Every structure is written in C-alpha cells, then in structure tokens.
C-alpha cells in the first residue's frame, strides 16, 4: 500500500501543473473580448489570448511595457517585457495593420502590481502574423463633393451679406 501511495504521489507530481509548465499552457486561444468576459473566479489562471497589437507600446511603472491587443472590437492591456515589445514590427493604426500577437500568461482581474487593473501578464509571447502598411485609395468623388460644398457655402454667404446690406439702407 505504501508503494502504491508513493507511486501515485510521483505520478501526480509529474502530471500536476507547476509554475514552470504554466507558461507552456496550450489551452484554447481566446480573443481579447473573451478574456474580458472571463469568469472572475478564474483570477490568476493561465490563458492564451490572440489579437492585433494596436496603438504603441507604453512604458509600465516598475519595468516592462504595456501592449494593447484588439480583437472583436475590444481592447485588452497585456504586460510584456521590453524584449517582447521590441519584437512587434507594426502597431495597428490608420496607416498600418498591426502584428497579430499570441500571449500566454495569468489573467489578473484586479492586478496588485498595476493598481487594480484588469490585465494579462505575458509569460510566453509570439508573433503569429506580421502586420503591413495599409493602402488607402484616393477617391476623387469625395474631393469634388467637398469643393462643391465650399463653393456653395461661399455663394450663400455672399448672398446673405448682400441681402443684409440692402435692408440696412
């Protein structure tokens, strides 16, 4: 019986998740929207989240960087190391499609380190797809409508001025 207990303890020690294996978590990949809606009882559990890096990385108090991930029209703040943040080539904005980033780490409903913010601390970080420069085609019709509006506005302003001047006499 004693051998059976020792054997069971050994198997549990190998199979049970440890902090070292937590970073290698390969559960379902969640979007930032799904992480924000996560059950609050999962505070501290390891999640994998994937989204577009948007804006820019910001210096975090105490070291590291903040990166905002966007997915399903919801943004999520992720704390990463400086080295991880430097791997990002493009951040999403009007002129760029941002890199698609996959982060694995613990989700914090009220992070004690970062002033009670909801965040994810990256233990593992990878670039899934590199972003690109967005091409915006010029639409001449919008220019024509704009110039026409300015001309009509100017003519109405002048007409109003003349009619006002005639009433004053």
pLDDT in tens, 111-150: 888 888 899 999 999 999 999 999 989 999 999 999 999 9
Residues in the chain: 169
pLDDT score for 26: 58
| pTM given for the model | 0.67
- pLDDT score recorded for residue 167: 76
**CATH code reported for the domain at 21-133:** 2.40.50.140
Question: What pLDDT sits at residue 169?
Answer: 62
Q: Is 125 helix (H, G, I), strand (E, B) or coil?
A: strand
In sequence order, which residues have a C-beta less than 8 Å from that of residue 159 and are 6 or more positions away? none
Given a cut of 70, the residues of the chain with pLDDT beneath it are: 1-26, 169
SS3 67: strand
């Amino acid at each position: 019986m004693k051998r059976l207990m020792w054997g069971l303890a050994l198997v549990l020690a190998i199979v049970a998740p440890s902090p070292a294996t937590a970073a290698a978590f390969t559960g379902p990949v969640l979007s930032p929207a799904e992480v924000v809606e996560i059950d609050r009882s999962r505070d501290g559990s390891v999640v994998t989240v994937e989204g577009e890096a948007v804006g820019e990385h910001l210096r975090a108090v105490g070291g590291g960087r903040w990166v905002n991930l966007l997915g399903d029209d919801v943004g999520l703040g992720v704390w990463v190391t400086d080295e991880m943040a430097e791997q990002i080539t493009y951040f999403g904005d009007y002129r760029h499609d941002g890199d698609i980033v996959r982060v694995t780490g613990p989700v914090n409903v009220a992070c004690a380190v970062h002033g009670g913010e909801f965040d994810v601390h990256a233990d593992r970080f990878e670039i899934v797809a590199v972003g690109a420069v967005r091409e915006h085609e010029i639409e001449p019709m919008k220019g024509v409508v704009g110039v026409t509006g300015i001309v009509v506005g100017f003519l109405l302003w002048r007409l109003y001025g003349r009619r006002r001047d005639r009433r004053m006499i």
